[in-house]
Amino acid sequence: RQIAAFQPASLILAEITELFLYEIEREMAELAPRLPIAYVIQDVRNRAGVERLFRDHRPEVVFHAAAYKHVPLMEQNPWQAIENNIGGTRNVASAAGAFGAERFVLVSTDKAVNPTNVMGATKRICEMVCTDLQADYTDTRYIAVRFGNVLGSTGSVIPLFQKQIEAGGPVTVTHPDVRRYFMSIPEAVQLVMQAAAMGDGGEVFVLEMGEPVRIVDLAREMIALSGFIPEREIKIKFTGLRPGEKLYEELLTDAESTVATSHPGVRIARLSRNTDVFRENLEVLLKTGGGTSRSDLLEQLRSIVPEYGPAIEANRKRLRLIQ
């Protein structure tokens, strides 16, 4: 929607789910009826299909947001996360370079920082893929943008809380100390586009998210705004942390720092360089296939992202800090 406001020569929307693509097609027909838009059903895991898309449409700027993002589900389905998130990113990013795109922008996540789950580890590797490809395709600027939860997006906590309140409760929160960074959809899009415009290539941008919010406080606020008294009229139920879930998210690792940019809401992360065996380990991981045991897949992820570790250890450290 925001890109359409800049009146590009054309827009290509690629999506694997036909319903989502149909819904955005209907919306864009009213919002930007004169803008030439191609609606493409495409699975990013299909390398030949991705290359055909780039060959046919020759996009100049690519925003790559396709990923499996549900943390507990990806803990149960690690190969699907690896194949879609990492393999899909490599397919799209490589095609962007091969077919002369000027910019490739990866939408990353704070869960890529000191990852405690499969989803976060795969997104960290996606960032590393972009850094790696920058050396191969110097005419394409590869940029990653790292930020937290987007209010109102698909699968976010706001719609879930609304449904639970409408049903009379309880509102479910995993843990009383869980904290998350939040921003609105328009704000997230604006900052992603700003970072895309500023990037010279090879950077990971970190968006200023303000202070993290306690999820239980958000639940209480939503209950009150709905006209109910929290804990009395609408109960809050603590369900326990789910597999791979952190008590809190980080925007940088202990080894990373940031550099200011001309925009107060956007900073550049100083990242450690990819190891010499990055490509070799990546090839081994992607050629493994879904038949490999879960433990072997996790070990291969750890060979690429050494800081990837169990959530239970990170949460114990955090609880000691809180106490």
Q: Residue 140's Cα: distance from chain center in Å?
A: 21
CA pair distance 113, 307, nearest whole angstrom: 9
Kindly report the CA angle at 157 between 156 and 158, in degrees rounded to 5?
95
Q: Which of 111, 235, 287, 317 is catalytic?
A: 111
Please confirm, yes or no, whether 317 is among the known catalytic residues. no
Location of structure tokens 């800081």: 307
Phi, psi of 75 (to 5 degrees): -65, -35
What is the crossing angle of helices 118-134 and 294-304, to 10°?
A: 40
**Rg, the chain, Cα only:** 20
Location of structure tokens 């107060």: 264
Helices (H), the chain: 2-5, 18-31, 47-57, 71-76, 78-81, 88-98, 118-134, 157-166, 185-198, 215-225, 278-288, 294-304, 311-322
DSSP 111: G
Helix (H) and strand (E) counts in the chain: 13, 14
308: helix, coil or strand? coil
Catalytic residues: 111
